[in-house]
Structure 1
Amino acid sequence: IREAHFRFLLAGADVITTATYQASVAGFTGEPDVSAERARELLVSGVRLAGEAVDRFLSDARPTGRRRPLVAASVGPYGTFLHDGSEYSGAYAEQMSVEDLKVWHRPQIDVLAAAGADLVALETIPSIKEASALLELLREFPDCRAWLSFSCKDGRRLSDGSLFTDAVQMAQRSTQLVAVGVNCCSPALVEPLLDSAGSLRSPDLSWVVYPNSGEDWDSEQGECGRHEVAHWFWSRCHPQPSIFGP
């Protein structure tokens, strides 16, 4: 994991995300002989490995003209804990309250907010209810800064069917977010999504955008086919003040 982070930095990444997207205290303690304390240590190790990669990059590569790369502690949606693919639909949120979602996310945010990362990446969030829970939870950690990134089903809606414009308006009210945007979606959805909400975003809230690379899954062949998107993506989206990534 440390080596993967290091190679991303060598390739030019200014922000690296920790390998904690699917990690949770509840998930770890569901395994034999894993205590809550050990689960928290494993979450911290994700931040530590990323930080060590940054330190190695600065000492070995000695980059000039670049700011120190940032470490974003990754927090995925509740659906990743279920292992049923529901993180791509957000259907679970229909049976959960905002408080239920806060209770589940709190142990991860509590650990990661204090683990030394530069910010927290609340990513691939499919449900506006879950996003609301996360923003409420952030207020319990007033020194924590974060970005909020949604998974979307088309050029207007989140995976749960909520309007992206409503999600951006909600994010706009948080004083702890540095960016809002989309990830884990087709690159073709990026432009219509950003266009739909562009007038709602204030200048001090950046876009964060890191879609899939554009391959189409072939279920018969069991593999992904190539889809050329890089030129379009960078030429259309890069001029905006944003955080971009693959």
Structure 2
Amino acid sequence: MEQAQPRRILVLDGGMGTTLETLGFDVNTPLWGSELLSSDPDAIRDIHKRYLAAGADIIETATYQLTPGNLCQRLSCSEEQAAQILRVGVDVPHSATLSLARGRVALSFGPFGSTLSPGQEYGGLYPPPYGPSTSTNAFPAISGPSSPAEIEDMKGTEEESAIKALAQFHLDKLRVFALHAESWEKVEWIAFETIPVLHEVRGIRRAMTILNQELDGKYGKGDHKSDVGDTWWIKKFWIVSPFPSGQHPQSQYVVEDSSTDRPHVTVEQVLSAMVEGDDAVPNGTGINCTNPSYLPSLTKSFTSTYQSILSSQPSRSLGSNLQFVLYPDGGQVYDTISRTWSTPSASGGPETWAREVFDVAKDLEKAVTKAGEPLWDGVIVGGCCKSSFEEIRALRKLVDGAS
């Protein structure tokens, strides 16, 4: 019997925090309502089930901005209790997939900026050692005229310190799940999302490299070793960024006293940060938490840039193992200071949103390398904040209609 081909477009779920808010739960807390994993896990489980019923192939855990530290602070619990609550974040969606006999679990990891107040997912202004030593997200932060060599030296030293600090931040959270086999086995993807700066992309890749080495030592022998040689403990992961106002949040490396606006990081720089170097390369890259109106131009830039990268690397020229992951917001604008949303007067309903997003996803799915092979290894498409069950249901209909 001929084996069925894997689907080229998979449907992701929609927003969690804003959906909780719509359902009447209080999300105006530092944990955005995710403390329900401790007080009312059934409320979270019900949302996962409803997304699966709406047609999601992948559902994300409600752990985006949670860390052992902020859980301990908010709930006055021990580190071990905090770790148990985090792992409930995996148990709950996994039980939902079992009850409906469909779906896979992606472990949600927000940026370091999601733990700051106000949040820095759209700005990437991180305090040292996680970012530059002045009020910018660009390296180097230098006052006065400097030579190119001085700029590179400062950039290298300060940026490397930030990469190390951010790698440790993500590694500490990863270990909570990964060193607990029962939880780790339930995860298929790790979703590093809304990552606003390239030094955090590099920090994440380093964290995954270190983690995989640790897990090879822990699970690659003894009771947890697979009889068929399958390294089940090595998880797929994606890294996606927001593009507020259609631009990457990070500024270019510039001298601090420049009188002109700093240009933003380019898509070429984003993809280079994803795939160059010796650290673990993500299985997916793309865009989240961005207004859908910016998607056509942004995804065309991703496609053309990645075509150029592959054509310049003969070893990868026949295709890519990168999937494109796309989950924009519902079209509203979020104010990180007031923590409120504004709705554009011209916004459409779920079907309009789904059509706009699906058309972009379909173009990504059709993209090819210069050798004529599929450029992306597949497309994962869903919604972020202010998208919910109806948007995902409408998106599922379009995906099914095109297959």
TM-score, length basis structure 1: 0.86
Counterpart contact for 1:90–1:159, Cα < 8 Å: yes
Give 1:65's aligned residue. none
| In the alignment, structure 1 residue 237 sits paired with structure 2 residue 367 | no
Give 1:94's aligned residue. 132
| In the alignment, structure 1 residue 158 sits paired with structure 2 residue 267 | no
**Alignment of structure 1 residues 170-185 onto 2, 5 Å:** 170-173=273-276, 175-185=280-290
**Alignment of structure 1 residues 2-151 onto 2, 5 Å:** 2-31=45-74, 33-58=76-101, 68-92=102-126, 93-95=131-133, 97-114=162-179, 115=183, 116-142=186-212, 143-151=234-242
Unaligned 5+ segments in structure 2 are: 1-43, 134-160, 213-233, 252-264, 307-318, 366-377, 384-403
CA deviations on 1:39-69 (whole Å, 9 max, x unpaired) are 11111110000101101111xxxxxxxxx41
Give 2:330's aligned residue. 213
Counterpart contact for 1:14–1:70, Cα < 8 Å: yes
The range that moved more, 95-104 or 186-195, is 95-104
Give the superposed CA RMSD: 2.3
Cα separation, 1, equivalents of 2:360 and 2:116: 36
Give 1:224's aligned residue. 343
CA deviations on 1:215-235 (whole Å, 9 max, x unpaired) are 35699x975245134323212
User: Residue type of the partner of 1:193?
Assistant: L
Counterpart contact for 2:289–2:328, Cα < 8 Å: yes
How far off is 1:169 after superposition?
Answer: 2.2
User: Residue type of the partner of 1:50?
Assistant: P
Q: The residue matched to 1:117 in structure 2 has which SS?
A: coil
| Larger strand share, 1 or 2 | 1
CA deviations on 1:109-142 (whole Å, 9 max, x unpaired) are 1123452311110001111111110011111122
Q: The residue matched to 2:65 in structure 1 has which SS?
A: coil
User: Residue type of the partner of 2:361?
Assistant: C
Cα distance 1:217–1:188, how it changes in 2: closer, same or farther (>3 A)? same
Cα separation, 1, equivalents of 2:342 and 2:331: 13
Cα distance 1:206–1:32, how it changes in 2: closer, same or farther (>3 A)? closer
TM-score, length basis structure 2: 0.54
Cα separation, 1, equivalents of 2:172 and 2:72: 12
Identity value in percent:
27
User: Residue type of the partner of 1:165?
Assistant: E
How many residues align structurally? Answer: 235
Cα distance 1:131–1:222, how it changes in 2: closer, same or farther (>3 A)? closer
- Higher RCO, 1 vs 2 (CA within 8 Å, ≥6 residues apart): 2
